[in-house]
Structure 1
Amino acid sequence: MPDLWMPGATRLDIGDHAATDGGPAKAIAHITWDKNATAAKPVDLVSYTNLRSYFAGGGAAVAPHILWDPFAGSFTQFVPANSRSKSLVDVAGGTRTNRAGSVVIQIEALFFPYCRVGTTVYPRLIDTPCKGWAELQAWVHSWGVPNAWPMGRPTDFTSHRSENTWETVGGWYGHSQVPENSHQDPGSWPAFVTTDAVHPAPQYEPFPGAAFFKTGKKSPVIAAMHKRLVAVGCSRYKSTANPDVWGSGDVASYAAWQRHLGYTGVAADGQPGAKSWAALKVPNV
């Protein structure tokens, strides 16, 4: 199952989870548009912290799944991917816009036209650094949302809507393309990135599973783990021989690491688990 919570995002669960209705997987592109500015009168960008507090408090009734800061590459997630969020108008008796798919993942980019950051003014979202877009695209895609715009990638602030397309085709939709809604955002959105950029080589070794750690197992992953245990001050090794072979020194050293993390009793038995392994940050080999 894909991650319910986007890796790297701050989790700020507002509760009020509810199931979606099933159907083509969708993602909805919004901008926060919390100020009105013009080329002649730009306005300073609203604080990311302020928007995060808003969606977690008084604005919870219209909170998206993800608040994205395209300038810093920061993310906050308010509900899990398999829950509906409430950023779309949903007219009684029509298509249930917030639920009309196996997922309907809604993203609010912190942006409004002609916002100013420092001394630079940004007319369009795509003029920003769009930091974190590759990671966001990859996570959304992991939930089965096609890397496609069924009604065209947004390029301006005009509305183009087709309820039949919405109901039957999965992919990315601008707020301006969703039935029952009158908003015209996002105006623009970054292009999909290449597969290599979306799926970079992992920085750390993923947990290889409990069965991997058997006496006599030889692997460069074990050697990398050995180096990390030494680096974090948890070495209980009595020999420098065969650092890539799992043995009693690894068990004792890993148990020391588990105790360092606060585990006790059988939870500190020297057998790696997923959480302690992730915390150790064994470099990818």
Structure 2
Amino acid sequence: MPDLWMPGATRLDIGDHAPTDGGPAKAIAHITWDRNATAAKPQDLVPYENLRAYFSGSGKGVAPHILWDPFTGRITQFTPADSRSKSLADASGGTRTNRAGSVVLQIEALFFPYCRVGDAVFPTLKSTPCKGWTELQNWVHSWGVPHVWPMGRPDDFTPHRSERTWEEEAGWYAHAHVPENTHQDPGSWPAFVTTEAAPAATEPFPGASFFKAGRRSPIIAAMHKRLVAVGCGRYKSSANSDVWGSGDVASYAAWQRHLGYTGASADGIPGAKSWSALRVPNV
């Protein structure tokens, strides 16, 4: 099992744990946006300690999982990975935003546009040193969140939201992408430092008849891992990942739709062309 508490982060458990609902694994990118600065009038960055005290005190009701300081690499975690946190608005009767996934990991970067640190002014988050980002992205990825942005990596403060994408696609989302929310952040986010390379040697297509309920095989386990890596995992559990079941059908159907197949051609049963495109590593 991945680490509930990120290795190297300061652990500050605020309690009030509650489970998520299952579904595509997600991470949500936020910035703290503590002050409104401009290029003409930059302002000093708010001290990290102020935000840490806020989220563990009067701001517990809106605390994220992670507070990340991209200037120093300091990270504090307030809630374990398998619990929901409360950084998203959650309207009654709709999708339970803070719980809508196997994990919904909320990351607050200590930043606002045109913040000043020393003599330097930083207009965007990605222009900061982004210290600690590699370790942070790798921990998030260990929880099944693929290195993808289903609605696009944020590069401005324009909100755009799709509830269908939110409900069906695993990956990273900007706060500006989340249904029921009105925030426009984070405006930008650092690129993934590494992405999983497709394997050089791939598993030959075993034939459609191979994929029958209850079939156990390392090929199915390898396929499971690839589907998660490309952002099409629809698994509710990683148990019995080598046994063909309903989660595989749902996940493979998502892959087929990703390739542009529709209707009966996206039934969740592998075909030769879609299998070749997935590049399952040879086992």
Fold conserved between structures, TM > 0.5: yes
1:185-224 matches, within 5 Å, as: 185-194=185-194
Alpha-carbon RMSD across the aligned residues, in angstroms, is 0.8
Q: 1:157 to 1:14 in 2, by over 3 A?
A: same
Aligned to 1:80, what secondary structure does the other structure show? Answer: coil
Task: Give the match for residue 257 of structure 2.
Answer: none
The percent identity for this pair of structures is 80
Output the amino acid matched with 1:46: V
Task: Give the match for residue 176 of structure 2.
Answer: 176
Rounded to whole Å, the distance in 2 between the matches of 1:106 and 1:75 is: 13
TM-score by length of 2: 0.69
Asked whether 1:148 is paired with 2:161, we answer no
Q: Write out per-residue CA displacement over residues 202-249 of structure 1, whole angstroms, 9 at most, x where no aligned residue.
A: xxxxxxxxxxxxxxxxxxxxxxxxxxxxxxxxxxxxxxxxxxxxxxxx
Aligned to 1:154, what secondary structure does the other structure show? Answer: coil
Q: Write out per-residue CA displacement over residues 137-196 of structure 1, whole angstroms, 9 at most, x where no aligned residue.
A: 000000000100000000000001000000000000000000000000000000011159
Aligned to 2:76, what secondary structure does the other structure show? Answer: strand
Asked whether 1:157 is paired with 2:169, we answer no
Task: Give the match for residue 133 of structure 1.
Answer: 133
1:217-256 matches, within 5 Å, as: none
1:40-79 matches, within 5 Å, as: 40-79=40-79
Rounded to whole Å, the distance in 1 between the matches of 2:51 and 2:193 is: 27
Rounded to whole Å, the distance in 2 between the matches of 1:42 and 1:71 is: 17
User: How far 1:96 moved relative to its partner?
Assistant: 0.2
Task: Give the match for residue 255 of structure 2.
Answer: none
Aligned to 1:98, what secondary structure does the other structure show? Answer: helix
Task: Give the match for residue 279 of structure 1.
Answer: none
Aligned to 1:28, what secondary structure does the other structure show? Answer: strand
**Contact kept in structure 1, 2:15 and 2:79, CA below 8 Å:** yes
Aligned to 1:29, what secondary structure does the other structure show? Answer: strand
1:3-22 matches, within 5 Å, as: 3-22=3-22
Aligned to 1:8, what secondary structure does the other structure show? Answer: coil
Rounded to whole Å, the distance in 2 between the matches of 1:194 and 1:13 is: 30
Output the amino acid matched with 1:130: C
The runs of at least 4 consecutive aligned structure 1 residues that moved more than 2 Å come to: none
Rounded to whole Å, the distance in 2 between the matches of 1:106 and 1:139 is: 12
Aligned to 2:99, what secondary structure does the other structure show? Answer: coil
Rounded to whole Å, the distance in 1 between the matches of 2:130 and 2:23 is: 29
Gaps of at least 5 residues in structure 1 are 197-285
Structure with the greater alpha carbon radius of gyration:
1
Rounded to whole Å, the distance in 2 between the matches of 1:59 and 1:120 is: 29
TM-score by length of 1: 0.68
Output the amino acid matched with 1:65: H
User: How far 1:49 moved relative to its partner?
Assistant: 0.5
Count of aligned pairs:
196
Task: Give the match for residue 93 of structure 1.
Answer: 93
